[in-house]
Amino acid sequence: MEANDVLFDIKKTGRLLVKSEEKQYNNIYYCTNEDLAALVKRFDVSGKDILSVLGSGDQAFYFYVNGAKSVDLFDINKLTIYYYYLRLWVIKYIGDYYPDIEFSTYIEDLLSIVKLESEDEEFALLYWKMFISNYSVDSMKALFNFNNSSMNYNRMEDVSELREKIQGKKPVFYNLDITEDVSRQVNKKYDVVYVSNIRNWINISGKSWEQYRNSLYYLLGDKGVILCSNVVSEGPYEKEDIIFRRNFIFKNLGREDTYALFKLSRPGYTYVKRR
C-alpha cells in the first residue's frame, strides 16, 4: 500500500457515502452478530495461527484475547482494514471496545495521540485524517452498517487483557474473495481459517462451492481446521456438506445451554482437513 492508494480509497469512500455499491468499497459492520464468546468456548484457538475474515474486527480481537498465536485477516471490502485500526486505537488509548456510536469529536483527539507501530497503521491514520478533512466526523455514520448494534453480545466491558494480548501484534491483511482462487495472493499455511457465515453468501450468489473448498484446502496446513459460524441458520448446507466431505471431516460444535434473542443453539461447526 502507498499514500496514493489511501487517496484512492478516500475518493471511493466518498462515492460510498452517496450509496455507491461496490464489493471492494462497501459499508463496514460496526459490530458482528456472531456469537464469538460461545464459539471460542467450544473451539480452542490458543497457540494457533489463524486466518480470519476481518469484518468488524470483533473476530480478530476474540481470537487474540483467547490466546491465538497469530491472526492474519482477509476481507473483500478494502475499508475494513481502516476500521480495524480505529478500533485498535479505541482499545489502546481510550480503554473502550467500540468507538462511540455517535462518532463525536473525540475521534480527532484520538488520531492526534496515535503512536505508529507499522506501515499499515500509518496508512490507516492517514485515511482517517483525510476522511475527517474531506467528509467531517458526522458523516462517519453513513460509512457503517449498524444492523447488528442493537443485539451485540460480544462487547468486552474490560479490555485490559485484550490490550495486553494485542501488544506488538502485526497481522497481515489480504484484500481477497475467498470464494475465488487465492493461491496467487497467499503463500502461508494456517492451523485455522475462520470463515464466519460466508457459506450463506455463496448459497445466495451462486459462487462455486468447489472453488471455495479448494481455496480453503490450499490455505490450511496438515489437519488444519475450517471454523464456521452459524448466524442466520444452522449449517452446513446439504450441497456444502457433500462437496466438503471429500476433503474434510465434519464436526458440529456443542450446543448452547441458554439462548439470547437471535442466538442459534449451535454457535458453529468445523471441517478438519483430511491428509
What's 60's domain CATH number?
3.40.50.150
Q: What is the pLDDT of residue 262?
A: 54
236-251: pLDDT as tens digits: 999 999 999 999 999 9
What length does the chain have? 275
Q: What is the pLDDT of residue 19?
A: 80
Torsion of CA 98, 100, 102, 107, to 10 degrees: -110
- Percent of the chain surpassing pLDDT 90: 73
171-186: pLDDT as tens digits: 999 999 999 999 999 9
- Cβ neighbours for 99, distance < 8 A, ≥ 6 positions apart: 86, 87, 90, 107
CB-based burial, 156-193: b 16+ in 10 Å, e otherwise: beebeebbebbeeeebebbbbbbbeebeeebeeebbbb
What total of structural domains would you count in the chain? 1
In 75-197, alpha helices (H):
80-89, 106-113, 119-135, 160-165
pTM: 0.93
Domain range for residue 134? Answer: 3-273
127-156: pLDDT as tens digits: 999 999 998 777 888 899 887 665 567 889
Q: What is the pLDDT of residue 60?
A: 98
> Mean pLDDT over residues 208-219, rounded?
96
Contact 9, 25 (CB under 8 A): yes
